[in-house]
Amino acid sequence: MEKIKKYYHYFYYKWYKLIEYTSRELGGAFLTDFKATIAMMALEIWIMISIYAYYSVITKQNLHLSLKNPLVYIPFSIIVLLKWRNFTNKNQWENYHKAFDELPKDVNKKGDWIVFGISVFIFFNFIFSIYLMMQVDWSKYR
């Protein structure tokens, strides 16, 4: 479990560094931790929606995700609470940043590509799952 947490923090760290770099280059270097958290939340929400979409397509049950359904709030609340727990303590994050910054350059370069690959996979998986849901004729299953 500790190793998964370390990988998760490294994933966040890479997003943080990317946003920090692009913000600095484009003149908007503020709230970097907030922006990185939002990016991570978007990826996690896309994963949750993809799981829902695959479940719906496989079982032929359209659960009608809407803000009126209280079940929508449970996964979202879990994501927000995890972010709050893991990324609000600045002292803890300074230690993580120092540790990850001290990694060898080749390890960080490899990490860049892994994080990029996972992020692209999540994005295209999300698009594909929505596409599959659109292919089902839901009127047959009501």
Q: Which domain holds residue 135?
A: 2-141
Give yes or no for residue 38 having a pLDDT over 70.
Answer: yes
Are 25 and 56 in contact, with CB atoms under 8 Å apart? no
Are 41 and 83 in contact, with CB atoms under 8 Å apart? yes
The Cα 124–Cα 77 span in angstroms is 24
The domain tally of the chain equals 1
The Cα 5–Cα 20 span in angstroms is 22
Tokens of 81: 């609470």
Give yes or no for residue 43 having a pLDDT over 90.
Answer: yes
Q: What is the identity of the amino acid at 103?
A: L
Place of tokens 């292919």: 135
The Cα 30–Cα 28 span in angstroms is 6
Give the pLDDT confidence of 60-107 residue by residue, as tens digits: 877 666 667 777 778 788 887 877 776 666 667 777 788 888 889 899
DSSP code of residue 68: T
Q: Is this model's pTM higher than 0.75 or not?
A: yes
The Cα 14–Cα 22 span in angstroms is 12
